[in-house]
Amino acid sequence: MKIIEVKNLTKIYNGKKKTIAVNNISFEVEKGEIIGLLGPNGAGKTTTIKCIATLIIPDSGDIFIKGKNAFKHPSFALKNISAVLEGNRNIYWRLSVRNNLEFFAGLQGLNPKKIKNKIDELIDYFNLREKEKAQARFLSRGMQQKLAVACAFVRDTEILLLDEPTLGLDVETTHELKELIKKKAKEEGKTLILSSHNMKLVEDICERVIIINKGKVVAIDSIRNLKEFFGYKDFYFEIEGKIKEEIKREFIEKFELVKFKEDEYVTEIEIELKSAEYIYDVIDMMRKNSFKLKRIEERTPDFEEIYLKIVKNG
């Protein structure tokens, strides 16, 4: 079932200068999907997320939540969506950890007394027990962010929108929060849209990604397909001694994407091949020129490199 449908969404900010933040974007999300929303700074990710959460009204286009037009039925949309937006305005600073959770449960019409167990579970799950009675403003940045995510989960909506949930967190807390979100979203079958600049996190949590740039969609696909489609094989060779300039030129003519690096003792050659089969040609040329091969390594690009390629080439 398509739980979120974004159709020809356009949002223009009319400041001193007119900014087309989101330019005719369309995509659909299936129930239970975990989707990454990626793109450079200013691409329009936060604007898109705010539109889905009905926090801002687009200039044109529609959003359907479970088949219902979100702007015609905003309270229905809000009942189904929890959002953690970028920054630290997601929780109430003067309320304690527990009171924040109770407040957000209350927003969903849940009686905090009746879901005391659930709140306790969340406090333990997000490792906030020690600070349960502390006001949110006295928590560390990482704990505040964990609380914000816990508050999104306490409402138990089908859809979660997380805008850069690990921004500014240290390596350890990023890892912790990533694991917590991943496990809980999967267990509870949540539909999750997550924006992040952390490609390792995206690769680990998301099955599919939507990449936007300058307000337009540049790719929507599974990470696996993008890797296959934009991936290339990089081969790295280590050769004993130096290589004559004319032979280097021969390599460059034949294989185009060749990089040489040399010192007194070794020459490193890096070649990007469209397919692994070309390796035979490389080896043939090396044999013909009596190269002393010390090492071969295959290097496949990681998702971050592929992401950069997609964004740069549009």
Q: Which residue lies nearer to ligand ATP by CB, 46 or 144?
A: 46
Residue 84 belongs to what H/E stretch? strand 81-84
Q: Which residue lies nearer to ligand ATP by CB, 79 or 197?
A: 197
Q: Name the minimum Å distance from CB 17 to ligand ATP.
A: 9
Partner in contact with 138, chosen from Mg ion, ligand ATP, none, beta carbon below 5 to 8 Å by kind: none
Range 133-139, long-range pairs (CB < 8 A, 24+ positions)? 133/96, 133/97, 133/98, 134/96, 134/97, 135/93, 135/94, 135/95, 135/96, 136/91, 136/92, 136/93, 136/94, 136/95, 136/96, 136/97, 136/100, 137/93, 137/94, 139/97
Q: Which residue lies nearer to Mg ion by CB, 27 or 251?
A: 27
Residue 218 belongs to what H/E stretch? strand 216-222
Q: How far apart are CA 117 and CA 140, in angstroms?
A: 25
Q: Which residue lies nearer to Mg ion by CB, 119 or 152?
A: 152
Q: How far apart are CA 223 and CA 310, in angstroms?
A: 12
Dihedral sign for Cα atoms in the order 131, 136, 141, 144: positive
Number of residues this chain uses to bind Mg ion (CB under 5 A) = 3
Segment 26 to 45, residues that bind Mg ion, using CB under 5 A: 45
DSSP letters for 14-30 = ESSSEEEEEEEEEEEEE
Q: Name the minimum Å distance from CB 26 to ligand ATP.
A: 17
46, 100, 157, 196: which one contacts Mg ion (CB under 5 A)?
Answer: 46
Q: Name the minimum Å distance from CB 285 to Mg ion.
A: 48
Q: Name the minimum Å distance from CB 40 to ligand ATP.
A: 7
Q: How far apart are CA 140 and CA 142, in angstroms?
A: 5
Q: Which residue lies nearer to ligand ATP by CB, 58 or 142?
A: 58
Residues 210-249 as x/- pattern, contact with Mg ion by CB under 5 A: ----------------------------------------
Q: Going by DSSP bridges, is the β-strand pair 208-213/216-222 parallel, antiparallel, or unpaired?
A: antiparallel
Q: Which stretch binds Mg ion (CB under 5 A): 61-69, 86-94, 240-248, 267-275?
A: 86-94
Binding site residues, ligand ATP, CB under 6 A = 13, 15, 19, 21, 39, 41-47, 86
Q: Name the minimum Å distance from CB 19 to ligand ATP.
A: 5
Residues that bind Mg ion in the complex, under the rule CB under 5 A: 45-46, 86
